[in-house]
Amino acid sequence: MARVGTAGHVAPELFKEGTACDYKIDIWSLGIVMFSMLVPGRLLFGEYTNLESLQKAYDALNKMNPWSNQQRPKWWTDFERLSPEARDLILWMTRFNAEERPTGEQIMRHPWFQISMGNLKPGQYRPKLKYVDMLCSSSIAQE
């Protein structure tokens, strides 16, 4: 396996020698691309080129206090302006552990896609989001 890829898009498992490539690597990259499209000019974890720098950026994001302006990344305000569904899907697709990432079928059933396809109307359902309320001060509280 060659160690190539766009800095800031490479899944964590690609930094580990002997890792078999599967669709979970593409799901990670899809999450990074979705973030970059919705928050233009930014990368979710910056331009990392090794596992250590990615792990540090990932941990910093997941341990930050969203109510403290001192710890927020520069793109945070733009990220919070996204719908809770978009934030949740991005954070699900970019789970560090590949086993926690969704399949393509799960992504298509996610509320963000269902709303865009007209199958759900915002405000007419109770969102069942997995990750968004961990990080966003303006997110919908879950039971």
Rounded mean pLDDT for each run of 10 residues along the chain, 143 residues in total: 65 83 91 93 86 87 69 82 89 92 92 79 63 47 32
- Counted domains in the chain: 1
Long-range CB contacts for residues 67-76, cutoff 8 Å, separation at least 24: 67/137, 73/42, 74/42, 75/39, 75/42
**What pLDDT, on a 0 to 100 scale, did the predictor assign at position 8?**
80
Q: What is the CATH number of the domain that holds 19?
A: 1.10.510.10
Position 67 in a domain: yes
Quote the domain boundaries for residue 54.
12-135
**What pLDDT, on a 0 to 100 scale, did the predictor assign at position 92?**
93
Position 72 in a domain: yes
**What pLDDT, on a 0 to 100 scale, did the predictor assign at position 26?**
92
**What pLDDT, on a 0 to 100 scale, did the predictor assign at position 69?**
64
